Structure 1
Amino acid sequence: MAHVSIFIGGIRPLPESGRPTGMYKSQVSSAEVAREGFIGDQQADRRVHGGPDKAVHFYPARHYEQLAARFPEARESLRPGGLGENLSSLELDERDIRIGDIWSLGTARLQVSQPRTPCWKIDERFSCEGMAAFIAERLLTGWYWRVLEPGRVSPGDTLDLSTPALDAPTLSEAMLLWQEHRPFLPDLERLAQTPGLAVGWRDKINQRLAWLRRAGAG
């Protein structure tokens, strides 16, 4: 069980380029969850955010202290909701979560689908060059969920693991494998076959497998 905060937001311009982003969000006490995410929440670039496999974004609240220690100039802005997440909690991080895990939140059911890939907009949003790279290198990425059953989240509702994916890798294990320069191919093949894995991430893994096989790796 984990106590969570909920964040929803529209699209706003970034401070320097003016490019649109859905990263700016406000905390709410209750919300409706549909197949593609929280009602009222928006994503600026639907090619890389949102959609059925990236419907809800979770970011561990405990990561913000690490970010603030590395980027003290942004400390005041580095608080839950700041990285565009819909859900945040001090009680969970990537070591606790397995790909394919099914969790309940209010009357909704969510399934872990993939880690988040941090993008350049994080650097501009916080005016800190290198923050996105730091997040990726330290595996402080958070993750996405697909919505298996839409529902409502009310004040006091907790996030509860209902169907654990016991044979699946944790998100931390999956990301460590993905970061390896020459991963063991059978391990990468097993990762690609993990039930519940997002289609887009599975495609990237399979593309990398094909390249590694051509290069004679593993």
Structure 2
Amino acid sequence: MRLLTISAGKVMPLFGNHHPNYKSVASAIHKKSISTLENLSQIEIGSLGVKGDEQADLSVHGGIEKAIYVYPTEHYAFWNELLTRETKRSVELQHGALGENFTIEGLLETEVFVGDKLLIGELEFAVVKLREPCFKFNAAVGYKGASKAMLQSGFSGWYLRVLKTGVLTAGAQIQIIPGSRTTSIAEQNQKLLNNRNQKDLWE
């Protein structure tokens, strides 16, 4: 298990016809890689996440409890295939394109539980909750059904709280320290999906 890429983004206008009330909204969902296996830059990680990373709406992203968004690289093949099919154009997403700060390999939603600790390099993090996608995600990837597909697939990724700050570099190894292991990220996703289906609250 290792960290492949560290990404950050700036708040800027996000355009699209993916919400009935908005043609343009502020978002920092478009992240760019700032440390990769090919470019091993050292990146400062503080209590609010990756230095230089921004969030447009702190009620749903960022802050202490959602400082870092993690996404498994294993899911990128799913998104490339889905978006290529649905948008009728060739899609080859780069790490950070799904809005994540850390792109990792070797660890999936079924294996991570709320309350687990992750040791990444010399730093320490706590698993907080899954990512709940919204219309901004649809606009970012150019497909109205993207949020629904994320929940239905269970490929949600998860948020981390930073317990020990410091410097991180892509390539760092990841170690899990299990918590109570009551609810996995995958189980949390399934509960949210069931609630959405019951209420028919798809955006």
Question: TM-score under structure 2 normalisation?
Answer: 0.81
Match of 2:125 among 110, 129, 132: 110
List structure 1 runs of 4+ shifted beyond 3 angstroms.
177-181
Match of 1:70 in 2: 82
8 Å CA contact 1:106–1:151 kept in 2: the answer is: no
Match of 2:141 in 1: 126
- Give the C-alpha shift of residue 152 in structure 1: 0.9
Distance (Å, rounded) in 1 between the aligned partners of 2:188 and 2:59: 23
Match of 2:3 in 1: 3
Match of 1:210 in 2: none
Match of 2:113 among 91, 94, 98: 98
Aligned to 1:52, what secondary structure does the other structure show? coil
Any unmatched runs of 5+ in structure 1? 182-218
Match of 1:27 in 2: 33
- Give the C-alpha shift of residue 77 in structure 1: 4.9
Aligned to 2:15, what secondary structure does the other structure show? coil
1:165 aligns with 2:165: no
8 Å CA contact 2:3–2:120 kept in 1: the answer is: no
Distance (Å, rounded) in 2 between the aligned partners of 1:15 and 1:167: 40
Higher relative contact order (CA 8 A, sep 6+): 2
Any unmatched runs of 5+ in structure 2? 17-22, 36-41, 196-203
Distance (Å, rounded) in 2 between the aligned partners of 1:63 and 1:4: 14
8 Å CA contact 1:14–1:20 kept in 2: the answer is: yes
Match of 1:144 in 2: 159
Distance (Å, rounded) in 2 between the aligned partners of 1:152 and 1:24: 23
Distance (Å, rounded) in 2 between the aligned partners of 1:98 and 1:18: 35
1:179 aligns with 2:193: yes
Aligned to 1:76, what secondary structure does the other structure show? coil
- Give the C-alpha shift of residue 158 in structure 1: 1.9
Structure number with bigger Rg = 1
| 75 and 84 in structure 1: CA distance in 2 versus 1, 3 angstrom threshold | farther
8 Å CA contact 1:110–1:149 kept in 2: the answer is: yes
Deviations along 1:34-80, one digit per CA (max 9) or x if unpaired, are: 11111110001111100111000001111121122222136535332
Distance (Å, rounded) in 2 between the aligned partners of 1:44 and 1:77: 26
Name the aligned partner's letter for residue 27 of structure 1.
Answer: S
- Give the C-alpha shift of residue 106 in structure 1: 2.6
Match of 2:171 in 1: 156
Deviations along 1:76-124, one digit per CA (max 9) or x if unpaired, are: 3533210110001232210121111111123321000000000101111
- Give the C-alpha shift of residue 159 in structure 1: 2.0
Name the aligned partner's letter for residue 161 of structure 2.
Answer: R
Distance (Å, rounded) in 2 between the aligned partners of 1:114 and 1:3: 19
Name the aligned partner's letter for residue 31 of structure 2.
Answer: K
Match of 2:200 in 1: none
| 126 and 156 in structure 1: CA distance in 2 versus 1, 3 angstrom threshold | closer
| 56 and 3 in structure 1: CA distance in 2 versus 1, 3 angstrom threshold | closer
Name the structure where strand makes up a greater proportion of residues. Answer: 2
**Superposed, which structure 2 residues align to 1:192-203 within 5 Å?**
none
Distance (Å, rounded) in 2 between the aligned partners of 1:120 and 1:47: 15
8 Å CA contact 2:131–2:159 kept in 1: the answer is: yes
Question: TM-score under structure 1 normalisation?
Answer: 0.76
